[in-house]
Amino acid sequence: MKKKLILGVTLLLIAIFAVGLTMAKPAEKAAKQCNDGIDNDGDGYKDYPSDPGCASRQDNSELNPNVQCDDGIDNNDADSLKDMNDPGCASPLDNNEVNGVCDDTTDNDGDTYADYPSDPGCTSYSDSSELGTVQCDDGVDNDWDNAVDYPDDGGCSSPSDNAEENCGDGSCYGFEESCDICVADCGYCDVCSDTDGGNYPFVFGYVYGYANSAFFNNSDYCTDASNIREYYCNETYFGDIFGWDDRNCGADGYGSPYCVEGPPYDAVYKNYNNYYCASGECDYTTTPTWQEWCIYGCTNGVCDYPDSCSDTDGGYYPFTWGLTYGYYNGEGYNSTDACVNSTWITENYCVGNYEYSDTFNCMWINATSCSNGACVW
């Protein structure tokens, strides 16, 4: 029993001594970052002397706080990327992370927006210009009002606005400005109205409207007692929007004949028209004028006549010149006896109310020749 106790105490002492030796042994030192074979800062280089952030093998940081592209910080640009992950860094020795004007935290085009993605003119951080292609962000005075882009041009509501024009900027330009939309810039549209409806000299009127932004108002007026200046609008014009016509009101004279019923008889009348100009319009007076009585009636302004025939030489007398006259189907006629040649004659004569004629040789009735519409011996 005593031996067992001694053995146990001995083993305990040995164990305590072993633990003490273990605790008393110094720990191994960790390798420095510049000598650990690892690319600790992710710049594509590791350890001294390859990594430019390492001053020696004892350096415990591969970062270089004096160089933007190797300091572990997103320096002064807009992309939230740092060091060699930043496309603005060409190498760990690069001391500028900025990758173009769309990454420099500056409003380069003056539109109150800076860099990608805030500035609509930037398509990426590496874009070389903050200007875009829309009118309000292209650096051009598109509406010729001496103001360029947003916010300087009053026609731009934002840098994304594609129309610089705005009413009141003194420049009439683009589809959004025209005379019917913006009088201030474009003036009044050419327009013409005519109160008498056109070129109508027998109705007084006046034309009014705008031509080349100037208001006009011109009334028809008499140039003298018989002539007028008539104003009218040109519906399709090249030049003036309105025109005028200097013209005579009309020629005085008789109109067409017409019938007037009796008593005592029907008659033919004609109207005498007297044209004149007064108060800016043409007018005329009409005076009915008698022409002839129609004993047998009147039709369409012509007297009706029954068929008739009269002969001044009394009938069929070729040795006496004569004239036949009368009416046939309402039309008047007259015919004279006449020589056809030195021996032949045409003799006109009446049979009842109708005219007849006969052409023959005077020698057939023992005459020698024809002279002055009669056979002679």
Count other Cβ atoms within 10 Å, centred on residue 128: 10
Max mean pLDDT among 14-23, 78-87, 132-141 falls in 132-141
How far apart are the C-alpha atoms of 216 and 160, rounded to whole Å? 43
Mean pLDDT, rounded, of the chain: 89
3-class DSSP assignment, residue 102: helix
Written as six digits, the tokens of 120 are 């609509």
**Residue type for position 111:** D
Higher pLDDT, 182 or 360: 360
Residue 169's pLDDT is what? 82
How far apart are the C-alpha atoms of 37 and 89, rounded to whole Å? 24
Residue 238 pLDDT exceeds 50:
no
> What's the pTM value of the predicted model, to 2 decimals?
0.49
